[in-house]
Chains A and B, each alone.
Chain A
Amino acid sequence: MSNIVKTDPASITIEIVYRGIFQKTLAQRICRSVVLAARKRGYTGTAFGRYGDSPERNGVPAKYFAVVAINDLELESSMAKYEPSVVDIAVAVDDTLVKGVESWAWYGRQPIWKPVHEGGAVLVTSDKTADQVLAQTDAAERPYLMGIVPGLASFAGLWVFKDDHTDYRVLGALAKIVPDWVRIEDVKTLIQEQTKDGSAVASAQGGYDRTQLRQVKVGEGTTGHEVLQFEKPGWTTMRPGVIVDARKPGERNPYYKKYGARTLRPVVNFDTCIKCTMCWLDCPDECFEVTAEGHYEVVYEACIGCGICAQVCPVKDCIVMVDELKFEDNDDKWQLWKTDHDAYNTWFEQKSGVSADPKKVALASNKAANAAPGANPTMGGGDD
């Protein structure tokens, strides 16, 4: 009665792919609840974060796991592990994660479905359709089921968990995909016990009812993403004395690109740029490069989307933070602006929803930036 193919009849493994720190509490809550809900019917389980992600860094993709088994014996094969090699369901609680997961150096960029076995599922929280999300997901090497839990990514803070019910909706969605492992009635009972809040229970039911499922065939998805894979050297070829070659001047770290940490990317209106250098000066990731004209172009291969540039830019709407899923590539855009001014401005307006014409009074202002996920995580973050 599962909506997915189960390879192991005795246990189920679910991974939550999330944005480090922002969604740490969220991922933990979902995984714990999966296990505790299964406990209601006498199943057992384990929940754990991936040790290698710790210490977590804001925005850097991390993973949390929940394994449910019919008994302790069946659970053993999932114990004492950093990370399950195969999972039944991968859940991305931020839809920009479908562009690939790069968690640390030498990890490479891995498709969101990488650990999902044939016939498994990828569940994504998104305000977009399955087709839109799929268009940004690496082309499938195995068929799988894609589920979309409607809603924006939850970027609740760390110390203060601003609960927007994403966790409940995801639990409901899981119950829809594998009802024989995560039973909606167990989920609802658990949430009722934990929260004594009818709206939280309703959110779980909402996730169950409103999650859209779509079968993904082999080859569906994009082949446009960068291939980033590495072969690790061995002890005979590694430099002795724990030594690593320094970076060459002008070089960027080829083994860890980090743009996979980005949920929003800055787009620049070069017409209104006053070349004040602030975006370049205050970028903690060295991602701006100065042009011959003294403009500062974003190197999207290096930008991790923190949004500082948009905040420090003194010119209204000169730098606008835009949803990463609106972009197919990491190409630098300044050349386009140089060669085809109008084409660039059309691109800028279409992406940012803001006028490129300095004279026009921009409507959006920096709303785009302030609407950034987590812009107001707690009493912290927001302009108040």
Chain B
Amino acid sequence: MTVTASNTPLDLPQIKGVKDVPYDELFVSGHRTCQGCESALVMRHMVKASGPRTIVLGSTGCMYVANTTYYTTPWVVPWMHTQLGASGSAALGTAAGLKVLMRKGKIKDEKINVIAFCGDGGGADMGIGAISATLTHKDYNSLILLYDNESYANTDIQLSSQTPYGAVTTFSPSGTDKRLMHTRWKKNMPGMMAAGHPESRYIAAGCAAYAVDLMNKIRKALELGGPTFVHTLDPCPKGWDYHPQYSQELGHLAVETGIWPLYEVIDGVCNLTGPTRQIAEGRKKRKPVYEYLKRQGRFAHFADEDVEHFQATVDKMWTEWLIPGVIPFTIPQKDQTLLRIDKKPLHEAQKTA
């Protein structure tokens, strides 16, 4: 990556442990989020990790409507609304603006973090095109954070492409005739972003229940620069229907059951992190998905067969995918040799020939 002034990495050292987490709050109390809102916690950790020299762009969704009610705000850092499908463009436009103004000497040349956040609806549905485009603009430093509470929780809890199989939403109620109205499997957003954008230096999947892991992922994204993407799974007491006090627990369960793998892809190299790594290495046993499903009212209508289907599909992620929980395809048994293909770059191969 060409290092020009506005690409100078900011000094954001990795956080050693909970004691090392910065105290300064850049997203303060008095935001109108739900009790136990894990997405609000993601916002808090996000700016804790990035520090005060940050501009945050927020696309429409809970973290817009709930957090910033005119004529007031919970944000200490500069913050601007962007449209539901525009988080990618907001990040790109802001980063491009800062870069050119610094190059032309119209503003002070310094590192300013640009973070655009979107919900699962704004990011994985409407905004996916713009996010994808932004992840190819390697000259601009921006982080797109997708906070995924698995529904359009702000508009009345309607299903999105991130809503898990079978879950009840206002668009997928469980009725006397149809037990399940929603039978699509959750879109593999971080995996898709990682696989499709080779020049993005950092793509990660995190969860606020693993706060330090999440903050470090945000810092790595900002340090490496270029367009980066972090996807967090945020338990939502409102849409998932559980008591707010259990938000952390549900985050842990999502990871421990293997439903939400934690990982990061740095310059094309994938590392599984936290319990996900332990599961992959066989040091930790995956919990049955039922442990997770039974805790939430949105699955209360599940029959045994639904739980079994859910379990079977999650098992597939771990037993059949090329990279467990990340890259959802592999190659036929008879072609296994292809995985051991001659990896020598073409130009060298020619030299030796």
A and B touch in the complex (CB under 8 A): yes
Binding site for B on A (CB under 8 A): 20-21, 54-60, 104-106, 157-160, 232-233, 238, 242, 244-258, 261, 276-278, 281-287, 290, 299, 302, 304-308, 310-312, 321, 369, 372, 374-382, 384
Decide if A379 touches B300 in the complex (CB within 8 Å): yes
Decide if A57 touches B241 in the complex (CB within 8 Å): no
A380-B75 contact, Cβ under 8 Å, with A57-B32, A277-B19: no
Main secondary structure of the interface of B (DSSP, over half): loop
Decide if B297 touches A104 in the complex (CB within 8 Å): no
Q: List 29 A-B contacts (CB under 8 A).
A: A54-B156, A55-B156, A57-B32, A58-B34, A58-B36, A59-B35, A59-B244, A105-B72, A158-B241, A244-B71, A247-B28, A247-B74, A247-B76, A251-B28, A252-B30, A255-B71, A256-B31, A258-B32, A278-B18, A283-B41, A284-B247, A304-B35, A308-B248, A374-B243, A378-B241, A379-B299, A380-B294, A380-B295, A382-B295
Decide if A57 touches B66 in the complex (CB within 8 Å): yes
Q: Which 9 A-B residue pairs are closest in the complex by CB-CB distance?
A: A253-B30, A307-B245, A302-B29, A58-B34, A306-B35, A378-B297, A380-B242, A381-B243, A255-B72
Tell me which residues from 67 to 104 in chain B have a Cβ below 8 Å from any Cβ of chain A: 68-79
Q: For B156, give the chain A residue with the smallest CB separation.
A: A55
> Which of A159, A233, A261, A374 neighbours the largest number of chain B CB atoms within 10 Å of its CB?
A159
Instruction: Give the distance in Å from the alpha carbon of A367 to the alpha carbon of B40 in the complex.
Output: 27
User: Which residues of chain B are near A376, meaning CB under 8 Å?
Assistant: 243
Decide if B245 touches A372 in the complex (CB within 8 Å): yes
A57-B28 contact, Cβ under 8 Å, with A284-B38, A384-B294: no
User: Which residues of chain A are near B38, meaning CB under 8 Å?
Assistant: 284
User: Which residues of chain B are near A285, meaning CB under 8 Å?
Assistant: 29, 31, 33, 40
A157-B40 contact, Cβ under 8 Å, with A233-B71, A247-B73: no
Q: Mark B1-40, 1 if CB is under 8 A from A, else 0.
A: 0000000000000000011010111111111111111101
Instruction: Give the distance in Å from the alpha carbon of A287 to the alpha carbon of B248 in the complex.
Output: 17
A307-B29 contact, Cβ under 8 Å, with A277-B19, A379-B300, A384-B294: no
Instruction: Give the distance in Å from the alpha carbon of A276 to the alpha carbon of B19 in the complex.
Output: 8
Instruction: Give the distance in Å from the alpha carbon of A250 to the alpha carbon of B211 in the complex.
Output: 21
B168 near A: Cβ within 8 Å?
yes
17 further contact pairs, Cβ within 8 A, besides A253-B73, A285-B40, A380-B295: A55-B65, A58-B238, A105-B32, A106-B69, A232-B71, A246-B73, A246-B76, A247-B76, A285-B31, A286-B29, A290-B23, A302-B29, A306-B35, A311-B248, A378-B241, A380-B297, A380-B300
Question: Closest CB-CB distance, B239 to chain A, in whole Å?
Answer: 8
Instruction: Give the distance in Å from the alpha carbon of A290 to the alpha carbon of B19 in the complex.
Output: 12
Decide if B295 touches A379 in the complex (CB within 8 Å): yes
Instruction: Give the distance in Å from the alpha carbon of A253 to the alpha carbon of B29 in the complex.
Output: 6
User: Which residues of chain B are near A247, meaning CB under 8 Å?
Assistant: 28, 73-76
Tell me which residues from 299 to 352 in chain B have a Cβ below 8 Å from any Cβ of chain A: 299-300
Question: Closest CB-CB distance, B235 to chain A, in whole Å?
Answer: 10
Question: Closest CB-CB distance, B115 to chain A, in whole Å?
Answer: 15
User: Which residues of chain B are near A384, meaning CB under 8 Å?
Assistant: 294
User: Which residues of chain B are near A21, meaning CB under 8 Å?
Assistant: 34, 237-238
